Amino acid sequence: MSTRFKPKFNIKKGDNVVVIAGDDKDAKKPRKVLEVITEKGRVLVEGVNIVTKHTKPTSQNTKGGIVKIEAPIAISNVMLWDAKAGSGAKVTRTRENGKSIRTSKKSGEVIK
What the chain holds in terms of domains, given with CATH numbers, is: 16-56+64-81 (2.30.30.30)
What count of other Cβ atoms lies within 10 Å of the Cβ of residue 91? 16
Question: pLDDT-based confidence at 2, cuts 50/70/90?
Answer: low
Which residues touch 107 (CB under 8 Å, ≥6 apart)? Answer: 82, 84, 85, 89
pLDDT in tens, 46-104: 999 999 999 999 999 899 999 999 999 999 999 999 999 899 999 999 999 999 999 99
CA dist., res. 81 & res. 84, Å (int): 9
* DSSP three-state, residue 75: helix
Q: Please give the average per-residue pLDDT across 33-53, as a whole number.
A: 95
Which residues touch 5 (CB under 8 Å, ≥6 apart)? Answer: none
Element (H, E) at 16: strand 16-19
